[in-house]
């Protein structure tokens, strides 16, 4: 029986990925800052661990407690929407600490084990906004695009050791709290000059009539990345993500 460790499982994509792999008889290690047993079904194949990907000590404890695993899914992250000139630097640093450095730190903690075994899969969940420039998401997009670049180079480095590395790029999803979290991280900066743009973008974020991404789409894409050795390097997840990928090809 194979084991997968997933970061950011308290809600949204991470929670759905954990459910998906549990339903397919994997052993699942679901991590989140504060474990909440009620969010996942009870199972003797499920373990929940506390993990803050921005804290080296937390990463070390979680990795040691996890023991041997076959796949790592770096999903933990958050979004923020704000005009670039008005985005508080604390928010920019927070985005990179979680979305970028957290992913790199978790990868560095796990990869030596995979390399020594000459087996394992790393899947990094980023965003399809990295495929197309969108307003108010400059810092968020940059934090995710950095992970894309990191992942693609990592894949080349680890291929000789039999370790696969993949990217999953979700689109906009009503199944996550991205919109409300993004708005909450706008901070107290003056956005007056961008008032109309801000209003328009947040209307679009709440629009469910246009193509979106379901959490299930992301879980299916991660499953493909983990279980199919012939899967592509970049896997868009969701109808809107697939359209962006096709347009960028």
Q: Active-site residues: which are they? A: 140
Dist CA 156 CA 159 (whole Å): 6
How many residues are there in the chain? 249
The helix (H) or strand (E) run that includes residue 175 is none
End-to-end CA distance of the chain: 37
Tell how far CA 36 is from the center of its chain: 19
Please state, in angstroms and rounded to a whole number, the distance separating the CA atoms of residues 31 and 45.
14
User: Under a CB-based contact definition with an 8 Å cutoff, are residues 161 and 117 in contact?
Assistant: no
The crossing angle, in degrees rounded to 10, of helices 102-117 and 56-66 is 30
Report the alpha-carbon distance of residue 87 to residue 201 in Å, rounded: 16
CB atoms within 10 A of CB 121: 23
Torsion of CA 228, 230, 236, 238, to 10 degrees: -50
């Amino acid at each position: 029986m194979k084991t997968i460790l997933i970061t950011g499982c308290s809600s949204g994509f991470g929670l759905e990925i954990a459910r998906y792999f549990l339903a397919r008889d994997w052993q699942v290690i679901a991590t989140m800052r504060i474990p909440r047993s009620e969010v996942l079904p009870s199972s003797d194949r499920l373990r929940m661990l506390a993990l803050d990907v921005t804290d080296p000590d937390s990463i070390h404890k979680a990795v040691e407690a996890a023991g041997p695993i076959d796949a790592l899914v770096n999903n933990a992250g958050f979004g923020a929407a704000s005009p670039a000139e008005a985005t508080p630097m604390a928010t920019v640093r927070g985005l990179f600490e979680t979305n970028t450095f957290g992913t790199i730190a978790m990868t560095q903690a796990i990869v030596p084990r995979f390399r020594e075994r000459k087996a394992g899969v790393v899947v990094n969940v980023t965003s399809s906004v990295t495929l197309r420039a969108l307003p108010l998401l400059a810092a968020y997009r940059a934090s995710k695009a950095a992970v894309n670049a990191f992942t693609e180079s990592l894949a080349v480095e680890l291929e000789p050791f039999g370790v696969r590395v993949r990217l999953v790029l979700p689109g906009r999803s009503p199944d996550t709290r991205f919109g409300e979290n993004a708005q909450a991280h706008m901070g107290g900066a003056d956005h007056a000059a961008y008032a109309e743009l801000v209003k328009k973008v947040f209307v679009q974020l709440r629009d469910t009539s246009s193509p979106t991404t379901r959490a299930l789409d992301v879980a299916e894409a991660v499953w493909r990345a983990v279980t199919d050795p012939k899967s592509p390097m970049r896997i868009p997840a969701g109808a809107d993500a697939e359209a962006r990928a096709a347009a960028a090809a």
